[in-house]
Chains A and B, each alone.
Chain A
Amino acid sequence: MSKMHVKLTVNGQEVEGLAEPRTLLIHFLRENLNITGPHIGCETSHCGACTVDMNGKSVKSCTLFVAQANGADVTTVEGLVNEDGSLGVIQEMFREHHGLQCGFCTPGMITRAHRLLQENPAPTEEEVRFGMAGNLCRCTGYQNIVKAILASADALNAQKEAAE
């Protein structure tokens, strides 16, 4: 099968490459672009470790061909840092509240939490749990992940208020 030319924006940078249409977005990110934040967990669209943000939606990059993402705007966990390269608010809160143990699910968790908080800046605990239902963690029991996301919401809202 011949390769196709794909062009997309990843973490604010325009990137191009040649890929077979069957290449999954996760493989293109990791292997062609060396963006290894998004992880390959189950590869069956269950676990959410490969979650990235595409055109303002949380998507599982293992269940999307790079051909479909051609032209899209993609953000990975690497793109959620502050401008100076320091940890972004959600990343910092995951550290502060120990929202991870082995860390494998964390990039997907943080990327999904980012979109969740964009859409619902002041979620209840129940809304956080419902909104994070597409991401599995086999270590933490989720308690600290939920805590970290609720704390992120507070911190982001305080930041917004201070800016106003």
Chain B
Amino acid sequence: MIPAGFEYHRPADIASAIALLQQHGDEARVIAGGHSLIPMMKLRMADLSHLVDLQGISGLSGITIGEGSVSIGAMTTQNALITDAALAEAVPILREAALQIADPQVRYLGTVGGNVANGDPGNDMPGLMQCLDATYTLVGPDGERQVAARDFYEAAYFTAREDEEILTAITIPIPAAKGYAYVKQKRKIGDYATAAAAVLLGEGFASVAMTNLADTPVHSDAASAALAEGDVEGCVREALQAIDPQEDMRGPIAFKKHVAGVILRRAITKAQERAA
């Protein structure tokens, strides 16, 4: 379980990191917490010869709560999301989801930026960011641009991020909705979701997204619209239409659809209780 050799870089600023990506092209990868990348490197499924560690770049981590939105630096760890009291007040669904990711040791190093940028359909934050209608900040050779989380995911591990860009921050509008829930079914601690659902629910408003039930996270406008009108059955029906789970070691397609329905209903019930 030893990865292939590589050259290690720890740039001190973002411009140097981008220069390394430009210089080495697809031979280079950035590393944040490394808890998705290092296992892939050990299995020799990630092939790279230059590793660009972002830990030396200041200003990439931290949580800023603004007037109507929250900004989270990409290098902010899952543990930092869990322990930030002001964030738990402003966007409590983030803490609820982060507590269900992996285990304590992984959450100390795993970052929210890595979780959303990797494009792994099993990661929890992409679905949640779609539910919250978050925006990602990408910095590349031509400067900075913003991409909506709902436009970011193209296929498993394929995203709108260019090879020479680095995802530096996430901006989340503070939800007016009081009701929220992130509910996840997993076989054991540390596992990815068999199915997970993120729900926001307020007066005449709802947002519904699902995790690990297609090759990208799934946000359903139709399911959200149905739930906004109080139509739970319609919401579940629309969400189950929108997903496209594949058979794997977590079960066959019919089972996953069944679990998706159960989990979404639980999330809706929890969100309704909190909204009341």
Q: How far is the CA of A68 from the CA of B38 in the complex (A)?
A: 12
Question: B34 CB to closest chain A CB, in angstroms?
Answer: 7
Please, how many residues of chain A have a CB less than 8 angstroms from a CB on the other chain?
A: 31
Contact with A along B8-39 (1 / 0, CB 8 A): 10100000000000000000000100110011
Asked whether, in the complex, the Cβ of B8 is within 8 Å of the Cβ of A21, the reply is yes
Instruction: Find residues 187-228 in chain B having any chain A CB closer than 8 Å to their own CB.
Output: 189-190
Q: Are A65 and B109 in contact (CB under 8 A)?
A: no
Docked CA distance A60–B39 (Å): 12
Given contacts A20-B5, A68-B55, contact A112 B34 (CB under 8 A): no
Q: Which of B64-72, B98-106, B143-151, B256-264 is near enough to bind chain A?
A: B98-106
Q: Say yes or no: A43 contacts B42, CB within 8 Å.
A: yes
In the bound complex, what is the Cα–Cα distance between A134 and B78 (angstroms)?
A: 14
Q: Is A4 an interface residue (CB 8 A)?
A: yes
Judge whether A97 is part of the interface by a CB distance below 8 angstroms: no
C-beta contact mask, B84-119 vs A, less than 8 Å → 1, else 0?
000000000000000000111110110000000000
B27, chain A: closest CB distance, angstroms: 13
Query: By the criterion CB–CB under 8 Å, are A63 and B34 in contact?
Result: yes
Q: Which residue of A lies closest to B37 (CB)?
A: A63
How distant is the Cα of A20 from the Cα of B4 in the complex, in angstroms?
A: 10
Query: In the complex the two chains form, is A45's CB within 8 Å of B53's CB?
Result: no
* CB neighbours of A139 from chain B (8 A): none
Q: Tell me whether A134 and B53 are in contact (CB under 8 A).
A: no
- What separation, in Å, do the CA atoms of A83 and B102 have in the docked complex? 35
- Alpha-carbon gap, A64 to B109, bound state (A): 9
Interface contact A22-B5, CB-CB below 8 Å: yes
Tell me which residues from 41 to 89 in chain B have a Cβ below 8 Å from any Cβ of chain A.
41-42, 51, 53, 55, 79
A65 touches B108 (CB 8 A): no
Let me know if B3 is at the binding interface, CB within 8 A.
yes
Q: Is the CB–CB distance between B2 and A22 below 8 Å?
A: yes
With a cutoff of 8 Å between Cβ atoms, the chain A residues found around residue B104 in the complex are 58, 112, 116, 131-134
A64 surroundings in chain B (CB, below 8 A): 34, 38, 109
Residues of A within 8 A of B (CB): 1-2, 4, 20-22, 24, 27, 43-46, 48, 51, 57-60, 62-65, 67-68, 70, 112, 116, 131-134
